[in-house]
Homo-oligomer: A and B are copies of this chain.
């Protein structure tokens, strides 16, 4: 069971947490354009996925044996890398480099995490230089630590959430504005969420 790290072509990992995950991974699946950044940082991809048109000739030759060509126009490179990763039935998929740079890509990629969660039972996270996105799909008790800064985003405006263990209880907040359930804090080593709908909730926790 592989633990896959996907490297997208947004802001390259600089924070010790995503950079550590990238350095320690034995299985980095690179989106097309990110391969040059990884190579420049002295690391080697496991595979490079995409339509490969943003790869220069030198890298195309160097990595000829691990190029996965996918010319589909309906999906972006991150989705191509995700679908390729699924073929290994991985234990976990950690997405790096999916935010920063163009904000329309950032917004799209954050939403895609929800779509991906519906397609896999692998542990799925998106780790940036500033925090970690996770998808919460059902009511339950979740690990945390006291003082952890958290924000929640619902992709379904009808979703109602109740919480225990958060500094500001969610209390059926109406998710009609993206800032509605942001800038909260965990009080202890776990917190509890009760979701009214079977619809994904994105949880973001900032690095210390």
Contacts and interface: CB of A to CB of B under 8 A. Distances in A.
Interface in A67-115: 76, 99-112, 115
Interface majority SS (helix, strand, loop, mixed), chain A? mixed
A187 interface: no
A142 interface: no
Contacts of A106: 99, 103, 106
A54 interface: no
Interface stretch (A21-29, A35-43, A55-63, A177-185): A177-185
A83 to B, nearest CB: 15
B103 A131 contact: yes
A157 interface: yes
A160 interface: no
A109 B101 CA distance: 16
A157 B130 CA distance: 29
A107 B103 CA distance: 9
B108 A182 contact: yes
Interface string A127-141: 010110100000000
Interface in A123-160: 128, 130-131, 133, 151, 153, 155, 157
Nearest to A150: B104
Nearest to A152: B104
A122 interface: no
A206 interface: yes
A204 interface: yes
Contact of A104 (B76, B115, B204): B204
Interface string A151-180: 101010100000000000000000001110
8 contacts: A101-B130, A102-B131, A102-B206, A106-B106, A107-B153, A110-B178, A112-B179, A157-B157
